[in-house]
């Protein structure tokens, strides 16, 4: 490896700015987390969480919720859904083909065929340590680092850090990570700088997502009313551009 590459900063070697803890606290307070909520409790069946997550990645929350309810009603046991034809699953959800995640991302037979019992379940993940559970999740079809992090945090109650497009945008604008870092690297960085506390990390995730949706929006961030503006190097730039326009998407 050449020397320049060896010296590149990594998520493990980039310290947070000194104002980071105060800014993170301001974000939590602004989003209603004066007190941390109770720690997430493990989902008795993490496969439920995974299927909901896969649906939600492809659709709005409302559509994903309808799909979930239709699937659950038609297939009280996932084993039946996992061996069903994708077309049957689509019809069951009452959706057009384009709305369905597709055979490669839909709950597929791969989720149960590797298990000796043939039972469609991810309960066994609960017995693994955090690193093992992540590795097993990321080995599942259609599950990347972000999905694995969300599953770990909200369905296995592990202290994972998860970054969606909203958090990714806020971290870039705050310039706490290099602009070249994708969400996966940002997530590794957050793993190192957030307190190792599941309740804190769950609250931080929710607060960050809401902040990105409601305040630090993609096209028209509302910097004047943002609680992070005193630390944010991007605020001046956006404020010089004038008042925020109404976002159309």
Contact in structure between 203 and 28 (CB atoms under 8 Å)? yes
Within 8 A by CB and 6+ apart from 111, the residues are 47, 50, 78, 82, 120, 122, 140, 141
Among the residue ranges 77-85, 120-128, 181-189, 234-242, the one whose residues contact ligand SF4 (CB under 6 A) = 234-242
If you compute the radius of gyration of the chain from its CA atoms, what whole number of angstroms results? 20
Q: Tell me how far apart the alpha carbons of residues 159 and 39 are, in angstroms, rounded to a whole number.
A: 10
Among 155, 173, 185, 201, binds ligand SF4 (CB under 6 A): 173
CA distance 27 to 160: 19
Quick one: which of 55, 106, 203, 228 contacts ligand SF4 (CB under 6 A)? 228
The answer to whether residue 166 forms part of the interface with ligand SF4 (CB under 6 A) is no
To the nearest whole angstrom, how small is the minimum distance from the Cβ of residue 246 to ligand SF4? 16
Candidates 5-13, 117-125, 160-168, 219-227: pick the segment binding ligand SF4 (CB under 6 A): 219-227
CA distance 50 to 56: 10
**Per-position x/- string for 177-216, each x denoting binding to ligand SF4 as judged by CB under 6 A, each - no binding:** --------------------------------------xx
Binding-residue total with ligand SF4 (CB under 6 A)? 15
Alpha-carbon span 2 to 17, nearest angstrom = 28
235 belongs to the binding site for ligand SF4 (CB under 6 A): yes
Task: Report if residue 108 touches ligand SF4, rule: CB under 6 A.
Answer: no
Instruction: State residue 195 phi and psi, 5-degree precision.
Output: -55, 145
Residues of this chain that bind ligand SF4 (CB under 6 A) = 170, 173-174, 215-216, 221-223, 226, 228-229, 232, 234-235, 238
């Amino acid at each position: 490896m050449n020397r320049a590459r060896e010296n590149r900063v990594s998520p493990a070697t980039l310290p947070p700015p000194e104002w980071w803890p105060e800014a993170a606290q301001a974000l939590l307070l602004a989003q209603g987390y004066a007190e941390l909520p109770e720690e997430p409790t493990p989902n008795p069946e993490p496969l439920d969480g995974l299927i909901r997550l896969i649906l939600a990645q492809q659709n709005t929350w409302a559509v994903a919720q309808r799909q979930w309810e239709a699937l659950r009603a038609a297939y009280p046991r996932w084993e039946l859904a996992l061996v069903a034809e994708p077309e049957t699953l689509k019809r069951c959800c009452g959706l057009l083909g384009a709305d369905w995640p597709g055979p490669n991302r839909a709950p597929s037979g791969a989720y149960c065929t590797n298990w000796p019992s043939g039972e469609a379940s991810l309960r066994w993940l609960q017995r693994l340590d955090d690193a093992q559970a992540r590795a097993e999740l990321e080995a599942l079809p259609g599950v990347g680092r972000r999905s694995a992090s969300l599953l770990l945090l909200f369905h296995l109650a592990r202290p994972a850090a998860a970054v969606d497009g909203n958090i990714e945008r806020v971290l870039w604008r705050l310039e706490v990570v290099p602009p070249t870092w994708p969400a996966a690297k940002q997530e590794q960085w957050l793993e190192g700088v957030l307190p190792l506390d599941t309740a804190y990390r769950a609250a931080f995730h929710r607060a960050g997502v809401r902040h990105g949706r409601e305040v630090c929006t993609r096209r028209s961030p509302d910097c004047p009313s943002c609680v992070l503006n005193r630390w944010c190097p991007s605020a001046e730039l956006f404020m010089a551009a004038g008042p925020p326009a109404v976002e159309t998407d």
